[in-house]
Structure 1
Amino acid sequence: MRRRASTPPRVRPSRHGRHGREDRSPVVRPPLPAQETREERFDFVVGTAAEFLRSAWPELRDVRFEVAAMPPASDEDGIPRWTVSTEERRIVLYRLPIERLGSLHREDELHRRMAIEGCVFRAAAQYLDRDPWDLGPERFRFL
């Protein structure tokens, strides 16, 4: 059968399945997006540890806990994991050194979280000029 000149050419639908057939799904489903990134998990752990410390220590209520990727420069002790500024009432935790340079004896989510919380506690202890174990002894009783 011949097409007339006035008949427009057949346009393929924008959604088609295998072999050009309509109304068929693709063979493989698209992958699911990640629920959260490492940055979001790190921020969440720092935030929850900071809230615990603020509720337990009134001296920390006005202190800002911030997260940065890397420190501006290394010092004589190596790459710092955090910076404490009592004049600015600020604690900055550096995500990449904490995540990548820390040594975990078991590579799982719980131990990663404990390592991050440990850095938050040590940074807050440095800010308060106290021992980190003094900040939350009840938190570590059953570990």
Structure 2
Amino acid sequence: MMRRRSRAARPVTRPSRHGRHGRENRSPVVRPPLPPIDTRVERFDVAVSTAAEFLRSAWSELREVSFEIGIMPPAADDGIPRWTVLRDEKRIILYRIPIERLGHPHQDDDLHRRMMIEGAVFRAAAEYLDRDPWDLGPERFRFF
């Protein structure tokens, strides 16, 4: 004799994660947003551009100067330059790898790395203007 199973006797349990129609392991249609891309190259670019904009706004001689980022400088006999100043072309080229690799901030965190990059921008602009780097933004460093 065959026994019939009744549906009321055994309740249907759904899995803890289910999609439409009770299917398991379905992901939601809309995924969470991805974190912003944050690389060393982008952080270097932002630090150079903000320092350059500050200098352009403070010094009219730098308004027409192009601040560019190069990866590596050409080979030189007297060391590795961090930047190249081209007054005739109104260009300042900052080399990312020497600034990042050969600069040694006393604390290895984002703030001090950014200050090291901004310092290189200020020194390159000071060389372009034939001035002392501290003369370029005395108000910026008054509280440090």
TM-score by length of 2: 0.77
Matches of 1:102 and 1:54 in 2, distance apart?
24
Find the counterpart in structure 2 of residue 119 from structure 1.
120
* 1:29-40 equivalent positions in 2, closer than 5 A: 35-40=37-42
Find the counterpart in structure 2 of residue 70 from structure 1.
72
TM-score by length of 1: 0.77
Question: For structure 1, which runs of at least 5 residues remain unmatched after alignment?
Answer: 1-21, 27-31
Answer with 120-129 or 67-76: which moved more. 67-76
What is the CA-CA distance between 1:37 and the residue it aligns to?
1.1
Matched residue type, 1:40: E
Runs of 4+ in 1 over 4 A off after TM superposition: none
* 1:42-57 equivalent positions in 2, closer than 5 A: 42-57=44-59
Matched residue type, 1:44: V
Find the counterpart in structure 1 of residue 16 from structure 2.
none
Find the counterpart in structure 2 of residue 130 from structure 1.
131
Find the counterpart in structure 2 of residue 19 from structure 1.
none
Deviations 1:85-134 (A, max 9, x none): 00000000000000011111100000000000000000000000000000
Answer with 46-55 or 67-76: which moved more. 67-76
What is the CA-CA distance between 1:34 and the residue it aligns to?
5.9
Matched residue type, 2:67: F
Matches of 1:84 and 1:75 in 2, distance apart?
17
* 1:79-90 equivalent positions in 2, closer than 5 A: 79-90=80-91
Query: What's the C-alpha RMSD, in Å, of the aligned pairs?
Result: 2.1
Find the counterpart in structure 1 of residue 143 from structure 2.
142
Matched residue type, 1:136: G
Question: For structure 2, which runs of at least 5 residues remain unmatched after alignment?
Answer: 1-22, 28-33
Q: Please say which structure displays the higher CA radius of gyration.
A: 2
Find the counterpart in structure 1 of residue 11 from structure 2.
none
Matches of 1:110 and 1:134 in 2, distance apart?
22
Identity of aligned residues (%): 70
Matched residue type, 1:116: I
- 1:25/1:70 Cα in 2 relative to 1: closer, same or farther (>3 Å)? farther
